[in-house]
Each structure stands twice: as C-alpha cells, then as structure tokens.
Amino acid sequence: MRRVVITGAGTVNALGTDVAATMEAMREGRSGIGPLDLPDADRLTIRIGAQVRGHDPAAHFDRQRIAMLDRYAQFALMAAGQAVAQAGLTFDGALADRSGVILGTSGGGLITQDDSYREVYAHGKNRVHPFVVPRLMNSAAAAQIAMAHNLMGPSFTVSSACASSNHAIAQAVQMIRTGMAPVMLTGGAEAMLCFGGVKAWEGLRVMSNDTCRPFCATRSGMVQGEGAGVFVLEERDHARARGAEILAEIAGVAMTSDAFDIVMPSQRGAERAMARALADAGLDAGDVAYVNAHGTATAANDRIESAAIGRVFGARTDGLMVSSTKSMHGHCIGATGAIELLACIMALRDGVVAPTANFVAPDPECPLDVVPNKARQARVTACLSNAFAFGGMNAVLALRAV
C-alpha cells in the first residue's frame, strides 16, 4: 500500500500566524483565549474566545481578492501558502493535473452571512455585496486554494462539524493511498467568531464564561476559537524521490458514527474510531505515547473520551500522555483537528508534548496523564489525534515519526 507523509504545514490561529509561533505557544502552555472583540459583543452572554488578533487582510491580499474572500478563506489561503512553501512544491504538468485539495469547515463563510443578514434585516437595506455567494460557500476556501496553487485534481469540502478537519485529512490520505492523487492539500478552516456564530453556541448552554479547562474537575465548558491548519500530504516515494523533508507519516485513519445522539457523545463510537485508527496504522496501543484528545472541556465529552481511551489502551493507559490543546487555541470547530495535528507533529519531531493549559485539579472521572499546564519532553514515535463531532461523527488519525 502507498504510504502518506506530511511535507508541509501552515496555520493561522489565536496562538500565532504560522507554525513556529503556534508551536512556541504550545511549548510554553500559553493560552490565546481572551475577551471577544466583535460587533455587538455587549449583547452576548459568552464574551470570551480564542480570536486571531490583529489580522490585516490587506497585508496578505490585494483589494480585488479581499472582495472575494471571507475571513475563513483568508485563513485557509494563508495556511496553504505556508504549507506549500515548506513542501517546496510547484504544481504544474502531471502533478497539477492530479493533485487536489480537501478542506474541512463547519460554518464556511459565516461572517459574510452574518454581516449580510445584519444589513438586510437589522439595517433594512435591500442590497448586499455582489460577492456574498462566492464568499460564503462552504467550498470557497478549497476552491481558492486550488486556484492559488494550480491544483486541478479532486477538490471539495468536507463538513462534519467539529470533526471536519480530520474527516478531510482522512479523505486526502485515502486518495493518495489509492493512487488517485500524488499530492493533496488538506486540513480545515473556520471563522465563526461573529455575533451570530457565538450567539448560536451560547444557546446550547455548554460554553464557558471563564476559560477552557479540559479534563479538569472544575471545567466549565467550551471556548470557541478560529483559524486554519493546512498540510501538504504526499505519497512517500514521491516525497523521497525529490528529497523532501518529511514532517511525519499519517499511518492510519478511521471514521465511525455513533448512530446515537445529535449532541451527546458515545463512548463506544470513540473507542471504535481509536481502535480502528491503530489497526489501520498497524500500531499496538503500546506503540502510542501521546493522544491529542478532542478534549472540549464539556462535562460530557471529557468524561466519555477518558473512558474510551481507558478501554482502548487498557493497561497501557498508565504512561500514556493525553492533552487537549483546545485549552490554548480554543475549539476551532471545523479547523480544530488540523490545528491540533501541529501538536502531534511537534511531539513526533521535537519530542515536546503540548500541555493541557488552565488545568487546576484532577477529575476522578478523567483518570489520565493530561500533561497539566507544562509541556513535557518525551520520545514519541506514534500518536493519535481524536476528533469527535456533534452528530456522533468521529475521525481519528494515527501518526508515526519518520
């Protein structure tokens, strides 16, 4: 079977506008969560989030392009540009013909929708910007990346709420494995921190108003983030033949559905996803030193995810490091799995395991080594990255060091 490696990575999120800055924040256990700065924030009950601060579109795109780009697509393009630059690839000829992009997102151009609805409903206008549709499409960011990098193979968007990125990455892996594409750009992008995007979430009563404390006894819920993570995935022999630097191998992927509840997670669904990712990668539980958890800091997710990890890893749970970097970059919804993959790459390449920040006290219902507050040096040769979405749609990636 063809093997799939990562040869480029890019990101924009609350911790930084590139991979180096993001990893530095993760090493320091620094959280990007703070007061939300957005229109009508005074009418929100939940007023914190992990925002990308100081983002200036004009520093990255010219006027004509900005008119076509929602914030989520801007993040996606910036991350993709970094990833392609690192990979050192130029897409032309047969490579361009067959390479593509599969991106995860949940809200797509939600800020464009929010702004446009405000104009017509709140301000009584009878006209919106002519490019509302090309900006808000859930496929817009993938299309913009394809245009920017001349990717003419399979390109589309995957949407499975909080597992969108991992589902997208799993699709890209499968396409390279089958030989459909030699190189795929993949990951996710989300920009949901607008009045409507936060208002919708606060209605569910699962959001924290102080900070995100995954697996902590005093955890009080989710905190939203935003951003993008994009990776260049490449068939291993293709990468080796051109002497590319390989960041890590995506050795296994698995996708399961709970077929249970639209918001409540199921332990069994999470177990099945983790176990199948291990099997797909040819890994035993004992090979894995680190799990980047879904770890949303809701009461339900963290309890159930902990139980699922305990079942899958059994006696190997002792000595297993499990952290949730959502404590730092927030829950970036459709982009979160991609941003969290950076913590996996850091563990595999640099031997640094990102911590669970904001941790105060252990919860007996989450009996795991959650790497509280301080990053840890450790030799990690394989790790898992979990994503368990509303709707019970789970996608787990298994990574191996090279």
Which residues contact other proteins by CB under 8 A?
Answer: 45, 203-209, 219-221, 263-264, 297-299
Told to judge if 366 belongs to the known catalytic residues of this protein, a careful annotator would answer: no
Select which of 194, 212, 331, 366 is catalytic.
331
The DSSP call for residue 138 is T
3-class secondary-structure state, position 10:
strand
Shortest distance, position 39 Cβ to other proteins, whole Å: 21
Contacts of residue 372, defined as CB under 8 A and 6 or more positions apart, other chains included, come to: 355, 356, 359
Select which of 149, 162, 212, 383 is catalytic.
162
Shortest distance, position 204 Cβ to other proteins, whole Å: 7
Shortest distance, position 391 Cβ to other proteins, whole Å: 13
Shortest distance, position 205 Cβ to other proteins, whole Å: 4
Q: How far is 311 from 304, CA to CA, in rounded Å?
A: 11
Shortest distance, position 359 Cβ to other proteins, whole Å: 16
How far are the Cα atoms of 43, 146, 193, 205, 336 from residue 202, in angstroms, in the given order? 12, 35, 12, 5, 19
DSSP character string of 246-289: P-EEEEEEEEEE--S-SSS--HHHHHHHHHHHHHHHT--GGG--
User: Is the distance from CB of 100 to CB of 168 less than 8 angstroms?
Assistant: no
Told to judge if 329 belongs to the known catalytic residues of this protein, a careful annotator would answer: no
Told to judge if 331 belongs to the known catalytic residues of this protein, a careful annotator would answer: yes
Half-sphere exposure of 342 (CA within 13 A, CB side): 37
Q: How far is 132 from 116, CA to CA, in rounded Å?
A: 8
Q: Which is nearer to other proteins, 99 or 358 (CB)?
A: 358
**Phi and psi angles of residue 293, each rounded to the nearest 5 degrees, phi first:** -75, 160
Contacts of residue 124, defined as CB under 8 A and 6 or more positions apart, other chains included, come to: none
In the chain, what is the greatest distance between 2 CA atoms, to the nearest angstrom?
64
Radius of gyration from C-alpha coordinates of the chain: 20
Q: How far is 300 from 302, CA to CA, in rounded Å?
A: 6
Q: Which is nearer to other proteins, 207 or 395 (CB)?
A: 207
Helix axes 267-281, 299-313, angle to 10 degrees: 40
Q: Which is nearer to other proteins, 67 or 217 (CB)?
A: 217
Q: Which is nearer to other proteins, 303 or 329 (CB)?
A: 303
DSSP character string of 233-244: EEEHHHHHHTTP
Shortest distance, position 302 Cβ to other proteins, whole Å: 10
Q: Which is nearer to other proteins, 50 or 140 (CB)?
A: 50
- At 99, which amino acid appears? S
Q: Which is nearer to other proteins, 90 or 209 (CB)?
A: 209
Select which of 167, 294, 329, 332 is catalytic.
294
3-class secondary-structure state, position 53:
coil
Q: Which is nearer to other proteins, 36 or 206 (CB)?
A: 206
Shortest distance, position 315 Cβ to other proteins, whole Å: 31
Residues catalogued as catalytic: 162, 294, 331
